[in-house]
Amino acid sequence: MPATKAQALVPGLVIKEADPAGDADALERLAVWALQRYAPIVAADPPDGIVIDATGAAHLKGGESAMLAGMIDRLVGSGIVARAAIADSWGAAHALARYSNQPLMIVPPGTSADRIMPLPMVALRLGPETLDGLRRLGFETIADLASKPRAPLTLRFGPELGRLLDRAMGALDEPIDPVAPPDLITVRQGFAEPIGAPETLARYTNKLVIALCAKLEEQGLGAKRLDLLFHRVDNRIEAIRVGTALPVRDVKRLTRLLCDKIEKIDPGFGVEIMTLSAPVVEPLGAKQSISSLIDAPEADITALIDTLSNRVGEHRLYRFAPLQSDVPERSVGKVAPTAPQTGEGWPDHWPRPSRLFPHPERIETVALLPDNPPVSFTWRGIRRRVKRADGPERVFGEWWKRDAELIAVRDYFQVEDEAGERFWVFRQGDGVDATTGSHDWFIHGIFG
Amino acid sequence: MRSPPAIDALREKVRKLETAERRTIDVLPFGVGAIDAKLPTHGLSLGALHEIAGGGNGAVDGAAAALFTAGIAARTRGPVLWCLVRPDLFAPALEQAGLGPDRVTYVEAGDEKSVLACFEDGLRHNGMGAVIAEVARLSMTASRRLQLAAESSGAMGLCIRRWRRQSEASDFGQPTAAVTRWRVSALPSAPLPVPGVGRARWFVELIRCRAGESAEFELEACDAQGRLAVPPHLAYGQAQAGDGSYRATA
């Protein structure tokens, strides 16, 4: 369409010169950004995509769905509207990300081939002539194409069509050539004979870490992310990524973190090249060692935090910190274990239960309204008589958070049954005005 | 009750055999004479594994056991690691038992196996005050590994045994390599002259104790520094029984 026609159709249209080289550069930069943040194997997928090998990389970001959602959010935050999909093969993910009806999609392993069937043929990355020819023959979707015998199609359109189809179905491997930023600190070890035993891999991992740490030391840096890539003889790349909470240059610690993950590597027929790189680095200066003249400082647990967060995931490791809220479940927030210590605590006016249920459980009670604690209550089929009780502690709804909480009230009581077990129960509402709550009773926690 | 000197000498010998590499055993006393007297080291030894379970419904909710453990951890020095499976711990209650939020790092491990792995990693790390884990099953092999890990670093390992169902709690009878084994059950709280709930009281059983005898205590729950106490009526009774003299009561 000529520009003048487009301007006539859309008033106020902004027209810019196409800049394919600039776009490719920007895509490359975006790929490097994704490499530093998400996974060790990332490549630009021109003209408009990035391909990421997410195998074994999602654990640092809280799982695949959390990683994908976070990625989209960040891209939207910087003005890029993006769609993403995780599938078994590059081809399938490429097709689903661009042509499925959901902007964010995670396909369970083994089902990608079925999911791409209803998509249009263009999702296969076919050339324009091939696409035209296929359309003329009446093909519409990938399913149409996959159900036909391969030989006549190959005869007419060449071998590329079959190859692309196989790649999308996951029948044919498609190696990703990872992007590498120019200033990446990296070390590499090639092998004359392919290696495969875990002990050998671990030994060479140690050697690579020693070499990398020497390079980091020259520049006064410490690594926050390490990628160890195993180039297999069959042209696949297996990767390990570990993260640390603070920059580290300690050979023993980094080796340990990497070697913990070696068991997850499938060396196949052998590994011929290993590369170790530090995509995220931060300055790390020399520090004076502790002298016995002063008291031993608080023990440093960042090494432990790194080991554990690489084992169970970063988001599963936290400290609790007080939040400004009277609603019990909102008064506790999670902060990173390396967050600075504030010395703050919770108000100490009332005893708090040591176990707080994630969801309050409904109980049947016999209680006098409005101010009295229950005389007896039934929880999980067991009736308990209340011997002693304390309360009420009134908690008002937080109207600035939700409109529905404008007049909501909870009255908390600490009750003790005949056996001495202590529970934290509350009544929804103030016991007089039914608009403040339903006057139902709930159990919210157990005291020690 | 005094044990004969021959037994004492034998105990000393065994202790030397057990702790060949370690020069001294560091001990964390409870500060309650009645408990410390029953423990051969006059306190909970650091660099050892201790098991704590709840009695009755506490075997499932582990509420009292968690507070008892928090009280012990609060009195150690250094950071604390708490490995969980079920994230239902309420941090303000731990602070009321003396364990402030700045000291504790929580690990939410997905399953029992990774809890034990995290527990062991924590115990092997130098400089930890206490490492706490909530587990249901603890085999002899696993506990032995944990005990050795604790010995190597000198951190106190506190294992809260917490089961999914009441019926599984019989597992607590199985032997483990832990140095002491405790069971904490809730008792009616201290009576007040006015309506209300007083300081919580626990029935604490020392079920197993290496080189010591089992015992049971009625105690008042942790205060804001994590210290236990003997209820006043019992404290008076013990003093009377202890020195055998009468005292006038006003």
Q: Please check whether residue B7 lies inside any domain of the structure.
A: no
Q: Cβ B105–A303 below 8 Å, yes or no?
A: no
Does the N-terminal peptide bond of residue A103 adopt cis geometry, omega within 30 degrees of 0?
A: no
Radius of gyration from C-alpha coordinates of chain A: 30
Cβ contacts (< 8 Å) between B104 and chain A: which residues?
A: 319-320
Distance (Å) from the alpha carbon of B127 to chain A's nearest alpha carbon: 5
Cβ separation of A312 and B107 shorter than 8 Å? yes
Per-residue pLDDT reduced to its tens digit, A111-169: 888 888 888 888 888 888 888 988 898 888 888 888 888 888 888 888 888 888 888 88
Q: CA A274, CA A205: separation in Å to the nearest integer?
A: 8
Q: Which residues on B lie below 8 Å from A321 (Cβ)?
A: 101
Min CA distance, B67 vs chain A (Å)?
Answer: 6
Q: Which of residues 107-146 of B touch A (CB under 8 A)?
A: 107-110, 114, 117-118, 121-122, 125-128
Q: Which of A318, A356, A420 sits opposite B106 (nearest CB)?
A: A318
> pLDDT category, A237, cuts 50, 70, 90?
confident
| Gap between the Cα atoms of A430 and A415, Å rounded | 18
Q: What residue numbers bound the domain in which B237 lies?
A: 20-188+196-242
- pLDDT for the residue numbered A202: 92
Q: Which residues contact B48 (CB under 8 A, 6 or more apart)?
A: B147, B150, B151, B156, B157, B178, B179, B180
Q: What is the pLDDT of residue A292?
A: 62
How far apart CA A241 and CA A310 sit, in angstroms, is: 9
Q: How many CB pairs under 8 A join A and B?
A: 169
The 10s digit of each residue's pLDDT in A27-73 is: 888 888 888 888 888 888 888 889 988 877 777 777 888 888 888 88
Average per-residue pLDDT for chain A: 87
Q: What is the pLDDT of residue B245?
A: 39
**Mean pLDDT along residues A3-15:** 86
- In a domain, residue B12? The reply is no
Within its chain, how far is the Cα of A170 from the centroid? Answer: 24
Chain A residues inside the 8 Å CB shell of B162? none
Q: Mutate which of B197, B219, B222, B225 to test chain A, going by most A C-beta atoms within 10 A?
A: B197
Scan residues 211-240 of B and list those with Cβ closer than 8 Å to A: 221, 224
Query: In chain A, which among 76-95 make CB contacts under 8 A with chain B?
Result: none
pTM score, whole prediction: 0.77
Q: Do A299 and B78 touch (CB under 8 A)?
A: yes
Contact indicator for A30, A176 with CB cutoff of 8 Å: no
* Cis ω before A370 (30° cut-off from 0): yes
Number of compact structural domains in chain B? 1
What residues of chain A, 362 to 391, have a C-beta less than 8 Å from chain B?
Answer: 387-390
- Are A222 and A290 spatial neighbours (Cβ–Cβ below 8 Å)? no
Closest chain A CA to residue B128 = A299
Question: Is the per-residue pLDDT at A11 higher than 90?
Answer: no
Contact B80, B131 (CB under 8 A): yes
Contact B118, B134 (CB under 8 A): no
pLDDT at residue number B238: 53
Judge whether A168 and A124 are in contact, CB under 8 Å: yes
The pLDDT of residue A207 is: 94
Residue B69 pLDDT: 94
At A303-354, the pLDDT tens digits run 888 888 888 888 889 999 999 888 999 999 999 888 888 888 888 888 899 9
**Chain B contact set for A319 (CB, 8 A):** 101-102, 104-106
- Output the pLDDT for position A319: 92
A353 close to B (CB below 8 A) = yes
Measure the CA angle with vertex A272, ends A267 and A278; round to 5°: 85
The CATH number of whichever domain residue B86 belongs to comes to 3.40.50.300
Q: pLDDT in tens for each of the 250 residues of chain B? A: 566 888 888 888 877 776 655 555 688 999 888 899 988 888 898 889 999 999 888 888 899 999 999 999 999 988 999 999 888 999 999 999 999 999 999 999 888 889 999 999 999 988 888 999 999 989 999 999 999 999 888 899 999 999 988 888 888 888 999 999 999 999 998 888 888 888 999 999 999 998 888 999 999 998 888 899 998 877 765 544 444 334 444 3
CA angle, A119 then A124 then A126, to 5°: 130
3-state secondary structure of A70: helix
Both tokens assigned to B120 = 């062991």
pLDDT at A291: 63
Q: Mark yes or no for CB contact B110/A312 under 8 Å.
A: yes
Q: Are A66 and A43 in contact (CB under 8 A)?
A: no
CA angle (B68 as vertex; B63, B74 as ends), nearest 5? 120
Q: How many CB atoms lie under 10 A from the CB of residue A439?
A: 17
Give pLDDT tens digits for A249-306. Answer: 889 889 988 988 888 888 889 999 999 999 888 888 776 666 666 665 666 788 888 8
Judged by CB atoms within 8 Å, which residues 301-340 of A form the interface with B? 301, 303-305, 307-308, 311-312, 316-322, 328, 331-332, 337
The closest CB to that of B90, out of A341, A356, A420, belongs to: A356
- Percentage of the residues of chain A whose pLDDT score is greater than 90: 21
Least CA distance to B187: which residue of chain A?
A420
User: pLDDT value at position B235?
Assistant: 73
Q: Is residue B160 part of a domain?
A: yes
Cβ contact (<8 Å) for B62 and A308?
A: no
Mutation site, B85, B107, B119, interface A, largest A CB count within 10 A: B107
Q: How far apart are the first and last CA of chain A?
A: 75
- Does residue B55 belong to any structural domain of this protein? yes
B122 and A304: CB-CB below 8 Å? yes
Domain boundaries for CATH 3.30.1490.100 within chain A: 185-283
A397 Cβ contact list (under 8 Å, min separation 6): A327, A404, A405, A406, A407, A408, A409
Which of residues A440 and A370 earns the better pLDDT score?
A440
Q: Note the ipTM here.
A: 0.85
Contact across the interface for A304 and B56, Cβ inside 8 Å: no
What percentage of chain A has pLDDT greater than the value 70? 97
Residues 6+ apart with CB under 8 A from A135: A121
- DSSP-derived secondary structure for A85-96: EE-SSHHHHHHH
Q: What is the dihedral of CA B64, B69, B72, B78, to 10 degrees?
A: -140
Residue of A nearest to B196 (CA): A390
- pLDDT confidence of residue B247: 43
pLDDT at B81: 94
A41 close to A72: Cβ distance less than 8 angstroms: no
How far is the alpha carbon of B177 from chain A, nearest alpha carbon, in Å? 24
Cα–Cα distance for residue pair A96/B226, rounded to 1 Å = 57
Contacts B218 to A, Cβ<8 Å: none
Cβ pair B95:A346 closer than 8 A = yes
As a whole number of Å, the CA-based R_g of chain B is 18
Residues of chain B with Cβ-Cβ distance to A298 below 8 Å are: 78-79
**CB distance A200 to A270 below 8 Å:** no
Residue A25 has pLDDT above 80, yes or no: yes
CA distance A97 to A112: 12
Domain-embedded: residue B5? no
Which amino acid type is present at position A284?
A: L
Fold of A185-283: Dna Ligase; domain 1 (3.30.1490)
